Structure 1
């Protein structure tokens, strides 16, 4: 039975692995600590938006047999506009993922250090964190193997492990079920919560996941008839990912102190109330979140570069490997020399929230082109949801900029 359940599971799980990274864990922790259950509705909104957009990306990949960046490069006919959007995508995804990768690795380090302590060595005046090198090495080995099926199995295992860790922690806190439902289905906007809401949306509806998903479904499925499997995979994986994010918010609400900066602090805060068991669950979950995102971020960047620049070849091609190695190296470098993880993660997540409307708008335009998808273009209902999502993300992005500039 279990074998049948996971027979057609794959790319969706990798998408979930990408968005349940240290950024998600950190922001969900801060949301729970600072606002209790009041922002659970933002996670529900994020899950719905992710389902709609990732289904579009998966459909594009299976039907067109191309990645999102490849289709953009081919469908935009005006040279100036095509180059401008290509530079924007490369900057947002490839360059952006380099800084985002440091947050992924640093988040995994937080999980390890909360259990094992800190290990470092000095190079002159610079202190190098050994845990960052360890996580980078694991990510390098998994990526260098170059097999999609191998990566898929490894990430599915890590996501399952991570999910069990976080959900078990939430159960331990024994939340009030009616208050949780109230937080999920009745939207509230507490004072000074707008940037947290933007972060929750940005950390779940990750722009680079749209490129990653469209590229990965081509590796997993070959026929148009397989679209039903891709949709099932997407729905199950993203709902599980959303429930995990909600579980972290629920866990964080149980903490009495407000002196929380990251999920490692959440683990320590839970220990006096529920014993060391909760601490280990949270720490191991954060470690798994760091590893999964440390793998998917470089992988997504490499797929985007491959599509935008028109490269051919597989996961084992030299150009493809050069991109993800560069992203991984920069992530390990910035993480290991002591840049504060919380600042890296918060910056990356808010930036994703700002960039999302642009990427979502381009995807919505493409999946309405019959020249690309034929009879598989968006339905009217899908377009309504897509337009609403773009409008909401534009609104949140503008509000966030004004908030940063102290104009609201």
Structure 2
């Protein structure tokens, strides 16, 4: 039996069966990962660039969207190939290829990018809530913290349920824009002309750079390389080849759907605004107002619903990517709800700060800033990905061909160059706009940009100049050591946690099986009343007295049966109280009953068993309640 906690997204690793299926059933088993990835290509950050491009230049930039989609298809297919062939996500592969110090900074940059991406989703969702329910933006931003609970619930239900939710959100977005296409009635002939490449200069070049920069997002590459590992495959050449093929189908279908949504937003802006003389619509709020002014109430309502669905789905996939980069780059694993809450809070703080000090109109500029931050990190995902998938030593016959490698490097150079240009222009725009702060931009911002550039150059040359040794694939818990002799262990002092439920009998039976009549048994019960938390042993309320009497009955029963038993009452936090008694009494084995909570109840009531395990240095036997 494998330890899934050592895998990328261990809770859902290899959780979807693809074996013994043929035809459409086989295809359907593989469909899913790319849909979770595709939501990042139609998030509120993309909406801003699509609306700006459509309102300023009509249908002329559709070809830029199409070219961006082709680049995304190539890079996402490479990401899926890495996960399938090597069983590694991009962060884990980077950990093996680069020194620990570099991995730390790669993690920091990736985490900043995810927070920046999450920031755009938060703002977009808050704007959607305001447009639909007239909810103040600061309340909308604050409400997005509830995504943490939703994410925890969906992950607990399994990968298929999570994918189903995301696909339903995509369906809502797609359906909303499909209906809006019928409302605005665009010109099919002019749309077709928009696919023909044209010259880009001045503002059109700037918006085109923004479209490309907002389309290919770094966290999607981390995410895809991990999500493909949720499928069980046969680890043979034929099995791997089949998995690559079916995941390519998944990627092509999902990203083309994302392209259609982005194209629909641009076409909507071109038809509704450009054709009516509104050439400078860059704010989502402005787009909503103009839609209502031109087409009535239905179109803007659909627009707001799509915006909420887009923000909701994108934030969920962003937090998944956060888990992948944290565990992959720096071997840090914390509780999922805590990690997601931390990411969300770090994204909410700048949004709330902007609303308080710059007003609601400042959120549009904050979205642009988030896209600039994403641009800085993109090269750190794309360059290692190409290195890893073209490595014939580790990828074997599944390494990418020379033609694909050349095409991938061309895309990488194009993306890095265009995003560098975007960052460069944005910095000097800030200097022109805020001349009094120019000195601080030169002193603080430019050195950071230079350091990031140096790190990017290092990331590019390191795999070519230094051939690293392969490390164990799954490092968080180390590797297996040699097993020699397995002698029986005799436990002399066993602790049993008691909660006066039907679990107690099972716990006592399992404890006696371990120690027999030679061991000493300490029965532990923790009083959790408010008085117990504040006053500890000094509390003498009725519940404490009743619990002490009941515990003594258990002890007397065991003693009458010929076992050495004693009672210990703990007070306050259960985990801390149990650990304290275990350490003070020199217990060498613990038997605990699992409470059987799931998802939301774990969040509310806590997970005592897991907490105790990390507070003591003795074995813990967890007894599941009998049905």
Task: Output the TM-score relative to the length of structure 2.
Answer: 0.58
Q: Would you say the 8 A contact 1:140–1:328 is kept in 2?
A: no
Counterpart position of 2:114: 97
Query: Structure 1 residue aligned with 2:228, among 211, 214, 217?
Result: 217
Q: Sort the Cα spacing of 1:139 and 1:95 in 2 relative to 1 into closer, same or farther, 3 A.
A: same
> Which 10-residue stretch deviates more, 135-144 or 287-296?
135-144
1:321 & 1:372 partners in 2: Cα distance? 35
Counterpart position of 2:141: 132
Counterpart position of 1:201: 212
Counterpart position of 1:295: 316
Q: Following TM superposition, by how much is the alpha carbon of 1:5 offset from its aligned partner in structure 2, in angstroms?
A: 7.1
Q: Sort the Cα spacing of 1:4 and 1:171 in 2 relative to 1 into closer, same or farther, 3 A.
A: farther
1:53 & 1:195 partners in 2: Cα distance? 23
Counterpart position of 2:198: 187
Q: Sort the Cα spacing of 1:180 and 1:10 in 2 relative to 1 into closer, same or farther, 3 A.
A: same
Q: Following TM superposition, by how much is the alpha carbon of 1:149 offset from its aligned partner in structure 2, in angstroms?
A: 2.5
Q: Would you say the 8 A contact 2:36–2:163 is kept in 1?
A: yes
The yes-or-no answer on 1:24 pairing with 2:46 is yes
CA distances 1:185-218 after superposition (whole Å, capped 9, x unpaired): 2233142233322221122111110001101111
Query: Structure 1 residue aligned with 2:338, among 322, 332, 338?
Result: 322
Query: Structure 2 residue aligned with 1:14, among 32, 36, 41?
Result: 36
Q: Would you say the 8 A contact 1:103–1:335 is kept in 2?
A: no
Q: Which has the larger radius of gyration?
A: 2
2:326 & 2:147 partners in 1: Cα distance? 23
**3-state DSSP of counterpart to 1:49:** helix
**3-state DSSP of counterpart to 1:201:** helix
Q: Would you say the 8 A contact 2:52–2:280 is kept in 1?
A: no
Counterpart position of 2:396: 374
* Matched length: 389
Q: Sort the Cα spacing of 1:139 and 1:324 in 2 relative to 1 into closer, same or farther, 3 A.
A: closer
Counterpart position of 1:125: none
**3-state DSSP of counterpart to 1:389:** helix
Q: What's the Cα RMSD here?
A: 2.4
Query: Structure 2 residue aligned with 1:54, among 71, 76, 79?
Result: 76
1:90 & 1:328 partners in 2: Cα distance? 17
The yes-or-no answer on 1:284 pairing with 2:302 is no
Query: Structure 2 residue aligned with 1:170, among 162, 181, 184?
Result: 181
2:24 & 2:392 partners in 1: Cα distance? 38
Q: Would you say the 8 A contact 1:298–1:325 is kept in 2?
A: no
Query: Structure 2 residue aligned with 1:71, among 87, 93, 117?
Result: 93
CA distances 1:377-397 after superposition (whole Å, capped 9, x unpaired): 101221122011012113313
2:28 & 2:291 partners in 1: Cα distance? 33
Counterpart position of 2:247: 230
- Structure (1 or 2) with the greater helix fraction: 1
**3-state DSSP of counterpart to 2:107:** helix
2:81 & 2:232 partners in 1: Cα distance? 11
Q: Would you say the 8 A contact 2:89–2:222 is kept in 1?
A: yes
Q: Following TM superposition, by how much is the alpha carbon of 1:9 offset from its aligned partner in structure 2, in angstroms?
A: 1.6
1:89 & 1:159 partners in 2: Cα distance? 31
The yes-or-no answer on 1:335 pairing with 2:351 is yes
CA distances 1:325-375 after superposition (whole Å, capped 9, x unpaired): 210122234334554332222112233234323421211111011233221
Q: Sort the Cα spacing of 1:88 and 1:180 in 2 relative to 1 into closer, same or farther, 3 A.
A: farther
2:346 & 2:380 partners in 1: Cα distance? 26
Could you say which structure has the greater relative contact order, defined with CA pairs below 8 angstroms and 6 or more residues apart? 1
Please list every run of 5 or more consecutive structure 2 residues that lacks an aligned counterpart in the other structure: 1-22, 235-239, 356-361, 432-627
